[in-house]
Amino acid sequence: MTKIVSWNVNGIRAVEGKGLFKWMDEFTENGYTDTFRVFHKEPEQYSWWSYRMKARDRNVGWRLDYFCVNDDFLDQVEDSLIHQEILGSDHCPVELIIK
């Protein structure tokens, strides 16, 4: 399995699915899926950056915004996106495209 970094702060990295967020582990263990990771395996895809030290410019952020669906609904999901190109907040929009 490819290790995907979910956040990077001051050189500290955490791997998705390895106890990063206990609640997320519990979601996935109980039949829910992180839709973004179904379609996008590339690392360093964040949805939040601190305003400090130009974190967004350096892509030093956290992935805090998720769309999770139950496994029965997963086949209705067409894509899940993080719109890092949209500015205006410390978070960027995330999008769930359903059929």
At 36 the three-state DSSP class reads helix
Model confidence over 24-39: pLDDT tens digits? 778 888 999 999 999 9
More confident residue, 23 or 49: 49
Tokens standing for residue 90: 């410390």
pTM here is 0.78
| DSSP assigned state of 87 | -
Domain ranges within the chain, ordered by starting residue: 5-98
Q: What is the phi-psi region of residue 36: left when phi exceeds 0, alpha when psi lies from -120 to 50, beta otherwise?
A: alpha
Model confidence over 46-90: pLDDT tens digits? 999 999 999 999 998 888 899 999 999 999 999 999 999 999 999
Per-residue model confidence (pLDDT) at position 16 = 54
CATH number for the domain whose boundaries are 5-98? 3.60.10.10
CA-nearest of 49, 30, 93, 85 to 67 is 93
